């Protein structure tokens, strides 16, 4: 055997024998290619596999990703219980918002979104409100907005912002919701779908009916007034219907009639109406005056009220009623 050389075949190709030492600790008499194969095989068995990539994995969001957030609620969104988050990208990179969550003492609103916000730009995100939780009423709302954020290079994270609320919408919503909850514990208040129209001294008057029903074992509730709207007002006055409705001595038939006339007859009275058929109710619960809460007309009543205003006002003008 000493005078013979022997070739090895690797992958169908003849490989010359190794002469002299092999760097890296190859076995004597074993071709370097095979030695490398043994080493590679040895690296693949035993122990945990190690991922090798050509680029590092995306990391967390850079701290420079920042936002200014303003909370607002349009009049047209009040019945739908939707708030708007006006989010401005004040950081150095374009981002994508994937989730928005608003929390305060009594309110929570959350929505999945998919909105790109470029540097310096502002986007409006609409988020629906959950039912208010009023156990902590009276505390500072201290709202927070948590935004799910991703960047073009794959980094993701959550940015928490203390929003501004220039028109104090959150506090108003919390007050309305908690007042409605407090009243409902002692007195159910709704609007009848029926609308009766009658003539009073030559004036067409619509009788809007408030339905009230005491709740056994509930708190003592008094309704003291119902506010006029942009579309409707009390007969003979402009501001409100003054009432004396007591859960301890309710009307025998559970009906409170509001004699109503149009508050406006101008061109935009109905065409641009948003809250004209939503009545604000002022109440006192166990001696504590509550914020105004609202009772909305059903679709049937709203349509009947619109028909009444159009019929009563006659041809549209640009004049408000006196």
pLDDT score at 316 = 59
| CATH of the domain spanning 67-166 | 2.60.40
Give the H or E element holding residue 184.
helix 169-184
pTM: 0.73
Does an H or E element contain 221, and which? strand 221-227
- Using CA atoms in the order 302, 303, 306, 311, what is the torsion angle rounded to 10 degrees? -140
pLDDT for position 119: 97
Domain ranges of the chain: 67-166, 185-313
- CATH assignment of 185-313, given 2.60.40, 3.40.33, 2.70.98, 2.50.20? 2.60.40
Residues 6+ apart with CB under 8 A from 51: none
Ranges of the chain with pLDDT below 70: 1-57, 136-141, 316-322
* Alpha-helical runs (H) found in the chain: 32-44, 169-184, 268-271, 299-313
pLDDT number for residue 136:
55
For the chain, percent helix, then strand, then coil, each to nearest 5? 15, 40, 45
């Amino acid at each position: 055997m000493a005078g013979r050389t022997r070739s090895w075949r690797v992958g169908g190709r003849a490989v010359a024998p190794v002469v002299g030492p092999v760097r890296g600790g190859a076995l004597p008499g074993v071709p370097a290619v095979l030695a490398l194969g043994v080493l590679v095989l040895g690296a693949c068995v035993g122990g945990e596999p190690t991922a090798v990539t050509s680029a590092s994995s995306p990391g967390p969001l850079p701290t420079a990703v920042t936002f200014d957030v303003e909370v607002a609620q349009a009049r047209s969104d009040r019945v739908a219980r939707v708030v708007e988050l006006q989010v401005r990208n004040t950081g150095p990179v374009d981002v994508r918002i994937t989730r928005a969550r608003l929390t305060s003492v009594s309110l929570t609103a959350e929505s999945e979104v998919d909105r790109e916000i470029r540097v310096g730009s502002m986007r409006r995100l609409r988020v629906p409100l959950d039912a208010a939780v009023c156990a902590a009423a009276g505390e500072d709302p201290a709202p927070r907005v948590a935004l799910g954020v991703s960047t073009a290079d794959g980094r993701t994270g959550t940015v928490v912002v203390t929003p501004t609320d220039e028109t104090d919408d959150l506090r108003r919503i919390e007050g309305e919701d908690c007042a409605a909850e407090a009243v409902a514990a002692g007195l159910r208040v709704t609007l009848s779908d029926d609308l009766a129209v009658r003539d009073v001294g030559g004036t067409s008057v619509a009788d809007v009916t408030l339905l009230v029903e005491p709740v056994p074992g509930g708190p003592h509730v008094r309704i003291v007034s119902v506010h006029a709207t942009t579309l409707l007002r009390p007969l003979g006055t402009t501001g409100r219907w003054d009432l004396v409705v007591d859960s301890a001595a309710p009307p025998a038939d559970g009906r409170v009639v509001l004699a109503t006339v149009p508050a406006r007859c101008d061109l935009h009275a109905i065409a641009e109406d948003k809250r004209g058929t939503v009545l604000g109710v002022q109440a006192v619960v166990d001696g504590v005056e509550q914020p105004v809460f609202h009772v909305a007309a059903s679709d049937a009543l709203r349509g009947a009220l619109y028909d009444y205003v159009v019929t009563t006002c006659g041809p549209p003008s640009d004049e408000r009623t006196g």
